Amino acid sequence: MSDLLALPYPVLPHELSRYAFLFDIDGTLAELRPTPGEVQINETVTCFLDFLSQHRIPCALISGRSILDIDTLFLSNNVPCAGVHGAEIRYADGKYERLSICGSDVAHVWERLKLACMRYPALRLENKLISFAIHFRDAPELAAVAMWTVASLAELYSGTFAVQHGKFVCELRPVKASKGAAVEKMMMSPAFCGRTPVYVGDDITDETAFRTVNEMEGFSVKVGDEETSATHRLKDVDCVHRWLARLMSCAAAGGGVHAQGADKCPS
């Protein structure tokens, strides 16, 4: 683990065509909001994704959101992505995979979760069909209640669900799902294979992805000042946007991004 000062700014030493980009969404490409529906994708992010597509540089979104929710947010169903922390994946060729999970367990857990949270209307429940989250951003004083509820159900259904902590949220995710496994699968697919991965994320859920990318000798980029296994860091979402703009600007100016010149490009 490293502190903020020990981690360098992510300067990519080769042309962008050498890389594959993988991004978390909330807290990385977009600012966190009280509810997922309030999140917006700004023009810089949209331009960068279009830039990668035009230059046939692979890119994927790796999120706790469902793929349906990701498509709604980005107004597109063409971006390769992994949803629900890797429980579902859509590859560049359109192939779709989802972890198999016991339907009766899913139904029982959802009912138990609703019953457990009835006394706490400030907690917001989210049903992702194969994963369930309790959001407490509007009621941080109920964090312990949310965490105990999720932990209890995870213990009861230990063969099916595991606990996934995040920023002001705790979740029951399929036990075999992780962003690290999703990144590994995505990087083995034809569109991504042979590229150097660049993964950018902000949360505890991204740590498995950071470790996977590190093993691939790629670039793992932590957004924020928390401890991390990532090798590089950007301070916040605004810094991510400036970094994306810089990558595009440098590529346009010199045909690629180089270690000696990237920091001199305009932001």
Query: How far is 196 from 200, CA to CA, in rounded Å?
Result: 13
Find the DSSP H helices in the chain: 43-54, 67-74, 103-117, 143-156, 179-188, 207-215, 237-254
Query: How far is 222 from 138, CA to CA, in rounded Å?
Result: 25
Cβ–Cβ < 8 Å for 82, 181: no
132-135: strand order across its sheet: 124-127, 132-135, 169-174, 161-166
Q: Which of 24, 26, 69, 71 is catalytic?
A: 24
Mark whether 24 is an active-site residue.
Answer: yes
Q: Exposed, middle or buried by CB within 10 Å (0-12, 13-18, 19+), for 133? A: buried
**DSSP-based three-state secondary structure for 196:** strand
Which residue has tokens 């690290």? Answer: 180
Query: How far is 229 from 18, CA to CA, in rounded Å?
Result: 23
The amino acid occupying position 255 is: G
Which residues are tagged catalytic? 24
